[in-house]
Amino acid sequence: MTDRTERWLVGTDRLAEMLADDNVRIFDCSTRLEPDPASTYRVVPCIEEWRSAHIPGAGFIDIQAKLSKPHPKLRFTFPEPDHFQKAMRELGVGNDSRVVLYSRFHPMWATRVWWMLRAFGFDNAAILDGGIDKWEAEGKPVESGETSYPPGDFTAKPRPGLIASREDVLGAVTNGGALVLNALSREQHEGGGVAYGRPGRIAGSKVAPAREMIDPATKAFRSLEELRAMLDDVGATGEGRLITYCGGGIAATTPAFVMALLGRDDVALYDNSLTEWSVDEALPMETGPQS
């Protein structure tokens, strides 16, 4: 285990030891996407599940309502720094806090918040490896009801290089200035499954599915060796800029998080991803098997 994994990926046993630390802030970030024929999907925060059972002391983060910029069509746009700073303070995060994030079923909701914190200058957050699924499977304690932390003094210090715009991605596609990496399924990459407008992938992009980075039995991340091999296969561990994307900027934070564990600090997230890209007929997309 590297220094980065110890800092940014916390095991269940280690978190159990941290529960008594008053400086620790634990948050459940779980969200469900429910199919909706009118809008592709509905965003449903798992707040009732959190009220029923959460890690002792853990607060809840409603990513869409609390941490996203309101938009008529885009679900999870990064907010302005003042908005994010205010939300973090209300949640109880301070500049000296140790934050641990988790989500149910898949870590992508937790990695989304982790990436947002990092993009706003905060590096002392970690993902609970295996989330609450692994925690509960091991018989570790949970509690019910509502919990919260006293207000914090979080200060946003934006790092613009960690967020890519549509223009950045178009430049990469047109000029070859970056590797563009799709975190959706291989089926979606080729044009099947759920589409966010036009089916398929951003032209020229490669695929490294976020779901394949997780052990389906334990919900924990696969070994760093397995993850590196997966990303090596698509050239994501080489030189040059790397931009990740997905449907709406959530799943894409999982390979971005993994790349950070592997030592790459320059990965950028295409925040609005295919929800923005696929509806603009002028922007190039592809379908079918990739050579």
pLDDT tens per residue, range 184-223: 999 999 999 988 889 999 999 999 999 999 999 999 999 9
Cα 204-247-253 angle, rounded to 5 deg: 90
Cα 257-204-248 angle, rounded to 5 deg: 45
**DSSP element (H, E) containing 159:** none
User: What are the start and end residues of each CATH 3.40.250.10 domain in the chain?
Assistant: 3-158, 161-286
d(CA 200, CA 197) in angstroms, rounded, equals 9
The CATH number given to 3-158 is 3.40.250.10
Average pLDDT, the chain: 93
Q: Which two tokens stand for residue 263?
A: 């030592």
Residues of the chain with pLDDT under 70: 1-2, 37-40, 72, 74
d(CA 63, CA 44) in angstroms, rounded, equals 10
Pick among 1.20.1090.10, 3.40.250.10, 3.40.190.10, 3.40.50.10600: CATH of 161-286: 3.40.250.10
d(CA 118, CA 120) in angstroms, rounded, equals 5
d(CA 113, CA 67) in angstroms, rounded, equals 8
Could you give the dihedral angle defined by the CA atoms of residues 182, 185, 187 and 193, in that order, rounded to the nearest 10 degrees? -110
d(CA 189, CA 205) in angstroms, rounded, equals 9
d(CA 205, CA 192) in angstroms, rounded, equals 16
Helix axes 224-232, 253-261, angle to 10 degrees: 110
Q: Which two tokens stand for residue 131?
A: 């989330």
d(CA 48, CA 42) in angstroms, rounded, equals 16
d(CA 20, CA 17) in angstroms, rounded, equals 7
> Residue 245 gets which letter from DSSP?
E
pLDDT 10s digits, 246-267? 999 999 999 999 999 999 888 9
Q: How big is the chain by its Cα radius of gyration, in Å?
A: 18
Per-residue model confidence (pLDDT) at position 2: 63
Per-residue model confidence (pLDDT) at position 39: 61
d(CA 236, CA 238) in angstroms, rounded, equals 6
Per-residue model confidence (pLDDT) at position 71: 72
Between β-strands 98-102 and 125-128, what pairing exists: parallel, antiparallel or unpaired? Answer: parallel
